[in-house]
Structure 1
Amino acid sequence: MNSEDLFDHIFMSENRCARNLYLIVTWYQGNGYRDGFEEGTRQGMLDGQKHGASHGAKVSFYRGFALTWKCLLQDTANAKSRKQVKAVESLIGLVEQFGYDNAMSTSLLDEIQKIRTKFRQVCSLLSVPTDFHDYVNGSSGMSF
């Protein structure tokens, strides 16, 4: 090896190190991006399913609540009960019009808010509390 090659080797070593470092960094960045994208997609799907199931359970609860009260009130004939039945039927109508099949709808949150508002109105007319968390979450404290 002559002296020029030796000096070129020493002089170019910084460039080789920088190029190798660049290749290593881009490889890790590419893999990190791919790994992060895959993990983010997976976590997003799980969170979306959980959130969607929560909304579905609430809307189903409102429907069951309204149908139960409609059955309980159907044989009464006074003016107050007619108003209650009308409000309950309105709640049933809102729930049945709810679009389950289009999760990307821009009016989805508005529809859920209308259902919640109508539910609160029905509860007020029926003189029942609007907080059913203890009943919906189950009887975790009870054992048989």
Structure 2
Amino acid sequence: MHHDASFALGLLKANAALQLRLAQLLQERAVHWTELAGRASRGNIQACGKARESVEQATELPALAVLPSQAFWHQFQQGLQQAQASFQEAVQAQTTFNTGLHEALSQWQADTVAALRASGSEQPYALFMRGPWMQEAAPAGKAKAGARAA
């Protein structure tokens, strides 16, 4: 019975560690995207300030009349640059998340195998196959096999 308890404890610890690592990865990504949105907002605030200054500094009607077209092309060009930078950052963020996820699953797999081996069985999976879930399925399987033979 001691082996079953250590096995259950080991699996519980492995599963809890996996859940906590996944939660940490998701929180890290949320912080990253919040920071990215903050940087974009600050950039937009600065652009609005520059546009306002241009309007205030215009002293002639023709100079004021061309500001909207100049602002459009400037914002269009800046928008393309921001979109490209955001795309590159999104790819990097996804790569970082995928790497973290792979590491978390690899660690979970190693922890699970360690729990099975620590159970004291020569064959780690034999303990799993002797579990109560298999005992309940065995009589039904034998009954079906007997019915086919008849």
TM-score by length of 2: 0.38
More helix by share: 2
